[in-house]
Structure 1
Amino acid sequence: MSLDKFKAWFRQASFYAEEAYNAPYRSAIARAKREQDDLFMLLIFSEMMGVPNPASYYTLELQPLLLERFHDWHTRMGMEHSPLDNIKCC
């Protein structure tokens, strides 16, 4: 058996082993994804219809922590200054 054939066989065996390992968890992962999508749609549509986002009140105290992370993020993305007009972190 040549090395290329062995590598191809090993790749295929690895793929099947990974599929067999992940199979029991597929439904749980799909359910969690659906729940996240449902929550996202609820928040987006409620904000679009004028209903205030209830999470904004509870996450207001996290703003100082998020501001530091936001600064790190926009500098990593190559933006010298904040891309948002209402958030001045630099």
Structure 2
Amino acid sequence: MGFYEQLKRAIAVYDEILRQPHRTEIARELRDEEDLFMLLCFSEMLGLPNPAFYYTLELYPVIIERFHEWHLRAGMEKSPLEGIRCC
């Protein structure tokens, strides 16, 4: 291995060492952001006014697969929506 390959490898290891403690924080933030997005998309069905309902309507087929995981994380044992049965 040449000097540059060793230097690249050392930088990659150093970068990994710096990122390791923050992986759980980043994962938690991404999960919270996804939960908020799911709440925004399904808020109209839950009875909450949603000003962006028209724009989120076309996203339903994509996010319906993740709906089950979301409502379990939100603390709901069964699906809160009558039209969506995932459990």
Cα displacement (A) at 1:36: 0.3
TM-score by length of 2: 0.51
SS of equivalent to 1:51: coil
Percent identical among aligned pairs is: 48
In proportion to residue count, which structure has more helix?
Answer: 1
Supply the distance in 1 between the matched residues of 2:23 and 2:36 (Cα, whole angstroms).
Answer: 20
Map of 1:1-90 to 2, 5 A cutoff?
5-47=2-44, 49=45, 51-53=48-50
Instruction: Return the alpha-carbon distance in structure 2 between the equivalents of residues 52 and 12 of structure 1.
Output: 52
Determine the C-alpha separation between the residues in 2 that align with 1:15 and 1:53. 44
Shift in Å, 1:35: 0.2
- The amino acid that maps onto 1:16 is V
Q: Distance in 2 between matches of 1:8 and 1:53?
A: 53
> Unaligned regions of 5+ residues in structure 2, if any?
52-87
Larger RCO (CA within 8 A; separation ≥ 6) = 2
Q: Which runs of 4+ in 1 moved over 3 A?
A: none
Give the number of aligned pairs.
Answer: 50
SS of 1:53's equivalent? coil
Report Cα offsets for 1:34-67 as digits up to 9, x if no partner: 00000001101124x263137xxxxxxxxxxxxx
- Per-residue deviation, 1:9: 0.8
- When the two structures are superposed, what TM-score results if normalisation uses the length of structure 1? 0.49
